[in-house]
Amino acid sequence: MINILTTHWSDFVHGFGITLLSSIIALIISMILGTGFAILEIVPNKLVNTIAHIYIQIFRNIPLLVVTMFFYVVVTQFVKMSGLVAGTIGLALYTSAFIAETVRAGILAVDKGQTEGARANGLTYWQTMRIIVLPQAFKIVIPPLGNQFINLVKNSSILAFVAGFDLMYQGNEIASTTFDTIDTYVVVGLFYLVITLPLSYYMRYLENKLA
């Protein structure tokens, strides 16, 4: 196992970097989209609510692989993009639906008196949302958002399907050239665990602290 790690160190590290990069970019995009759709789902406008609801339900109920392959196989015929870009877009859209649900739950968990107080003090709807409600909502949803990021890191292995040169892809390449499948996959697993395991313990600690 040490052998495979030292001989293919640069491949593993390169893949690990791509995995992290793709996860972080997808996280940023999906946070923006997710928060946006969470707000659209609760603004006082039935039509807008319905559109946001449909968006969220579509991406929650279709496999990530189908979303990603759609960008990699179909969209790429109209707009050229690499596997990494297609995969990251797929990840971002897919995750945004879950983040929207999380943020929406957070917004609804903020005490109604906060909104009433802010509105009574003359703030507009959007000011109330931006200055009063969202900051409190984000505090509540930090642990579930952290768990979404863990899922995102794990899900980024989807890049292996679209030649995204991520950790999983590199692992497969190494496994198929060295035939040392067990050791390679164990090393790949350890690389994933380096990010996900400490993060998941920290999120559990935060959950317990908040509860």
Q: Do residues 18 and 159 make contact, with C-beta atoms less than 8 angstroms apart?
A: yes
57 forms part of the interface with other proteins (CB under 8 A): yes
Q: Which helix (H) or strand (E) holds 52?
A: helix 46-61
Report if residue 168 touches other proteins, rule: CB under 8 A.
yes
Select the span of 28-36, 105-113, 125-133, 191-199 touching other proteins (CB under 8 A).
Answer: 191-199
**Contacting other proteins (CB under 8 A), which of 42, 123, 200, 206?**
200
Q: Phi, psi at residue 163, to the nearest 5°?
A: 50, 50
Shortest Cβ 2–other proteins spacing (Å): 17
- Interface with other proteins, residue 163, by CB under 8 A: no
Tallying the residues shown for the chain, one arrives at: 211
Q: Which is nearer to other proteins, 17 or 189 (CB)?
A: 189
**The pair of three-digit structure tokens given for residue 71, joined into one six-digit string:** 């960008």
Distance of alpha carbon 67 from alpha carbon 62, whole angstroms: 7
Residue 88: closest CA among 156, 181, 185, 189: 156
- The residue ranges that bind other proteins (CB under 8 A) are 57-58, 60-66, 69-70, 73-74, 150, 154-158, 160-161, 168, 171-172, 175, 181-182, 185, 188-189, 192-193, 196-197, 200-201
